[in-house]
Amino acid sequence: MNTYLFTILMVFLFFIAVCLVMSVPLTKRHRLIDFRSPADLGLDFKVVHFPSTDGVTLSGWWIPAEGSPNTIIFLHGFGGTMDPDLKYVPAFIQAGYNVLMFDFRAHGRSNGSHTSLGALEVNDVIGAIHFAKSCNSWAIGLMGFSMGGRAALLAAAQHPGVQAVISDGGPLRLTTAVSMELRRRKVPDSLSPLLAFMCVLGASLRLFVNLFYNDPLVLGAKIAPTPVLLIHGDKDPYTRNNELNKMMSKSKGNLQLWRVPGANHREVDLVDPEYYLDKVLSFFDANVKPN
C-alpha cells in the first residue's frame, strides 16, 4: 500500500472512531432517577414484565379501567422513564382506558444497554402491543412523548395493530434534533449539522441500524391509514416548520397537526392542561373506542 492510500485509510478510520465516540451520549443507558408509583395517585396497578420483539425484557405498569377493552400505551421521552407521565393517567382511567406504561430499553427499570431514539424502540412498542392484546385489549392507541412520539410513529408505520397515535413533540428528523441540542450546548451553528451527522452515523454503526432511514419523515407515508395527531409548540427547536409541512404532505387524510403558539418542546400541556387532556382524549375517543 502506498503512502497516499495509507494516509486516506488512516483518516477514514480516525473519522469513524470519532463518530463512534461522539455517538455514546445518544446510545448510552439511562438509570432511574425519578421514582414514582401509581399507588401515589391511588390507582390500582400491577407491575408487569414482557419482552420486546427482539428479546429485551421491559418493565412497566398495567393500570386497568374496570371492564374496558380499550388500552392506551404510554411511551416516555429520551433519558427519562415512565414515572413523570403518571400525572396524565387518572384522566385516561376515568375516560375508560386501560393504561400500559413501561420504561424503554436501556432506561430505568428495563433491561438493555443501548438506546436509539426510536429505531430499536419500535421493538419495545410492538412488544407492548402484544402484551396489551394478551390482556384482552381489543383497541389500542399510542401516546408518545418526544422520543416516545418518534417510536409511536415508527411503530405505526410497521405494525397494523394500532387504532390511533398521538406524538407529542416527537422529532421528525433525528439529525435536526441532535443538531439543535448541540446548538443549545453552545456548539457553533456552522458546526452543529456536521457534528450531528457524525453522531447519528456513529450511532448507526454502533447499533447496526440505519438511523437516517428510521425517521418518521422518511417513513411517514407508511403510517396511513392510522389516524395520527402531531402536537408541537411553535418554539420547539427539535422539529422545523418545513419538516412538519413535509410530514403533513405525506398525509392521506390520516394526519392532524396541533401547533400551539408560544410553546417550547413538550410544553403544550403547560399552556392549558385541561384543554390538552380534553383534546387528547377526544382524539382517542373518536379513533380508538368502538362505534
CATH of the domain at 105: 3.40.50.1820
Identify whether residues 158 and 238 lie together within a single domain: yes
Closest by CA to 56, choosing from 118, 99, 130, 106, is 106
One domain for residues 55 and 193: no
Pair (137, 268) in one structural domain: yes
Q: How many domains does the chain have?
A: 2
> What angle separates helix 174-184 from helix 192-207, to the nearest 10 degrees?
130
Per DSSP, the three-state class of 4 is helix
Beta carbons within 8 Å of 17's beta carbon, 6+ residues apart: none
- 201, 162: one domain: no
Neighbouring CB atoms inside 10 A of 268's CB total 25
* Closest by CA position to 27, among listed 84, 105, 123: 105
Cell numbers of 185, please? 450546548
Do 13 and 157 sit in the same domain of this protein? no
| Strands 255-260, 139-145: pairing kind | unpaired
Q: Indicate if 5 and 149 belong to the same structural domain.
A: no
Q: In terms of domains, do 91 and 165 share one?
A: yes
Does residue 266 share a domain with residue 238? yes
Half-sphere exposure of residue 246: CA atoms within 13 angstroms, side-chain side:
14
Per the structure block, which three cell numbers stand in for 77?
421521552
Q: Are residues 18 and 112 in the same domain?
A: no
Q: Which of 163, 190, 208 is the last residue of a domain?
A: 208
The residues that bridge with 230 in the sheet, in sequence order, are: 167, 257
Structural domain boundaries, residue 4: 1-30+174-208
Residues 6+ apart with CB under 8 A from 192: 179, 180, 182, 183
Q: Which of 91, 71, 196 is nearest to 140 (CA)?
A: 71
Identify any residues that bridge with 140 across adjacent strands, giving them in sequence order: 71
Q: Clarify whether residues 152 and 273 are in a common domain.
A: yes
Per-residue pLDDT for the chain (291 aa), expressed as one digit of tens each?
578 787 888 889 999 999 999 999 999 999 988 889 999 999 999 999 999 999 999 999 999 999 999 999 999 999 999 999 999 999 999 999 999 999 999 999 999 999 999 999 999 999 999 999 999 999 999 999 999 999 999 999 988 889 999 999 999 999 999 999 999 999 999 999 999 999 999 999 999 999 999 999 999 889 989 999 999 999 999 999 999 999 999 888 899 999 999 999 999 999 999 999 999 999 999 999 876
Both 155 and 96 in one domain: the answer is yes
